[in-house]
Amino acid sequence: MLRTRLLTAAVLVPIVLVIIALGEPWLSIAVGALVFLGMAELINLLDAAGYQPPQVVTLLGGTAVSGAGLLVANRDAVSGLPGELLRLTQPVGLVIAAFVVAVLLLGFAGFTRADPRNGFATWAISSFGVGYLGILAPFIALLGHLGPAGGSASTEIGPLGLRAGMAWPLLLVLIVWGYDTGAYLTGRWLGRNRLIDHISPSKTVEGLVGGLVLATAAAGIGAWLIGLPAWHPLVIGPVVGITAQAGDLAESMLKRAAGRKESGFLIPGHGGILDRIDSFLFAAPVVAGYALLVAGFVV
């Protein structure tokens, strides 16, 4: 199992790094594809958990909300009909407008269920699924549009002169991968005390500590690439590390409800798409918020 995980990682890591280096539109295309595949897995999990979401409406709703978020992230490069949609949906915002439409349509789908309790559960859980992936995932692409105050995503920053729009997604990847690696190895070698046994029996307190240590070290590298002062990794490393763990536990809770060990089978040794992006779904908004509110970057 470990050998398969390592071989898969050896293939996926360069692909992820190339996409980050290329930037837009490839970053948004990759996020959009991940959302579509992840929504299919999520619908399958919700169905296995007994919620029976309307599959087509939920899939299209999640994809549409995500697409709206990606258009907003790329608003400066958008023209034609997409640009007109951005203009017409102000000041509410295209993401909110798309989510509202999805929730309304899912509410209509709930009316078709004979049992009102089942109809309400269908409406509520399906709306959650649309928001879970459709709203959170585009923050990954948003990081590719961050720039220093008075600059843009193409502004060169840090000692290596990386584009700001490349450096922030790289920071996210470094911290999440650092946390995952540290938690996995420490938990495997030293894990004794269960973290949250009723959700994920394999997670341990020792793994959490090891993950946070490596996440902070990885944040140090990322902060150096961006050119942030030395105290930033001590804050952003643990905060994003804990958030990444929360994202993993949230998906584990969903899988436990569905009686599944993995969300899918597309990634050998790692399970499905959701199994690989769950930490990023929680961590990306936190990194974006930190960049905007603490580090002084702008979109």
- What are the b/e assignments for 162-180, b being 16+ CB within 10 Å? bbbbbbbbbbbbbbbbbbb
User: How large a percentage of the chain has pLDDT more than 70?
Assistant: 99
Which of the two residues, 221 and 5, has the higher pLDDT score? 221
Query: In which band, very low, low, confident or very high, does the pLDDT at 282 lie, cut at 50, 70 and 90?
Result: very high
User: How many CB atoms within 10 Å of residue 206?
Assistant: 18
User: How many CB atoms within 10 Å of residue 123?
Assistant: 22
Query: In which band, very low, low, confident or very high, does the pLDDT at 274 lie, cut at 50, 70 and 90?
Result: very high
Mean pLDDT of 192-206: 89
For residue 267, the 8-state DSSP code is: B
Query: In which band, very low, low, confident or very high, does the pLDDT at 2 lie, cut at 50, 70 and 90?
Result: low
Average pLDDT for the chain: 93
Structural Rg of the chain based on CA atoms: 20
Phi and psi angles of residue 129, each rounded to the nearest 5 degrees, phi first = -60, -40
Mean pLDDT of 142-151: 95
Is the predicted pLDDT of residue 75 greater than 80, yes or no? yes
Q: What is the pLDDT of residue 233?
A: 97
pLDDT tens, residue by residue, 3-33:
777 788 888 999 999 999 999 999 999 999 9
User: How many CB atoms within 10 Å of residue 124?
Assistant: 15
Q: What is the pLDDT of residue 197?
A: 86
Is the predicted pLDDT of residue 76 greater than 70, yes or no? yes
Q: What is the pLDDT of residue 1?
A: 60
Which of the two residues, 40 and 196, has the higher pLDDT score? 40
User: How large a percentage of the chain has pLDDT more than 90?
Assistant: 78
Is the predicted pLDDT of residue 202 greater than 90, yes or no? no
Q: What is the pLDDT of residue 88?
A: 85
pTM assigned to the model: 0.93
* Of 61, 57, 38, 41, the residue nearest 49 (C-alpha): 41
pLDDT tens, residue by residue, 82-117:
888 888 888 778 999 999 999 999 999 999 888 899
Mean pLDDT of 222-240: 97
User: How many CB atoms within 10 Å of residue 60?
Assistant: 16
Q: In angstroms, what CA-CA distances link 201 with 65, 198, 217, 278? A: 33, 7, 26, 17
Is the separation of the CB atoms in 102 and 64 below 8 Å?
A: yes
- Measured between its terminal Cα atoms, the distance across the chain in Å is 41
The Cα 8–Cα 4 span in angstroms is 6
